[in-house]
Amino acid sequence: MDIVLVPGLWLDGATWGEVAHELTRAGHTPHPVTLPGMQSRDADRTSVTLEDCVAAVVAAIDDSEAPVVLVGHSAGCGVATVALDRRADKVARVVLVGGFPAVDGVPLMRGFATVDGGIPLLEWSEFDEADLRDLDEATLARFRERAVPSPAALATDPPTLRDDRRYGVPVTAVATEYTAADLQEWIAAGEPSVQEFPRFADLSFVDLPTGHWPQFSRPADLARVILAQPPLGDSPSD
């Protein structure tokens, strides 16, 4: 089955490498997406819009054998769910790793500073300790070395959502630096950032205790979580 992988801030498609390897070994076809402006640090991202990023994910869906499993990480969860809105009939399941669905009219990553049209990687001291769990100094150094500023549009452009059929697509929320119980409490409390979750008819939760970047800290386990979700979990390759 085809699996479209959408990275979060500061990451290109290649950062899904270890996860993609495990998905391939299981008999599936991963499609890691590098969003516009993320090809290199020197890439021009000043004119990249949120819709450009969504279009890149939509193109990956269209180039795959439908229906696909659509996986987003962090800010990539927002991009993925806008793409779901555009291609609800071509997605079998959405897996949201350490992130939340986009909210109509609300920029995905409000509050991030932008510099020269990009969102630069923060200093490690600006992250919570939980975010960096299971990442040693060498891994953090490699992360910073390969990090690319994300387009400022991810912090400024409000998404437009228009197809309510997306709510009929099953969603799995993977809790990483927080717990599934935490997420369910935020949903029950009506926290604005998670307000879209209860609108999905088929919503499940999985704990993957680690930091915010399980594709680096627990890639094989993240792949197993993805592979366990229907319809992947129902396939002979599971």
Domain assignment of residue 168, given as a range: 2-234
Query: Residue 236: its pLDDT value, please?
Result: 35
Task: Please give the C-alpha separations between residue 169 and each of 84, 92, 94, 195, in angstroms, as whole numbers.
Answer: 9, 6, 7, 17
Task: Please give the C-alpha separations between residue 147 and each of 49, 84, 202, in angstroms, as whole numbers.
Answer: 20, 26, 34
Query: Residue 111: its pLDDT value, please?
Result: 85
Query: Residue 87: its pLDDT value, please?
Result: 99
The number of domains in the chain is 1
This prediction has a pTM of 0.96
34, 6 contact by CB (below 8 A):
no
Query: Residue 234: its pLDDT value, please?
Result: 59
Q: What is the mean pLDDT of each run of 10 residues along the chain (238 residues)?
A: 99 98 98 98 96 99 97 99 99 99 96 93 97 98 98 97 98 99 98 98 98 99 98 60
101, 77 contact by CB (below 8 A):
yes
Q: Residue 49 maps to which CATH number?
A: 3.40.50.1820
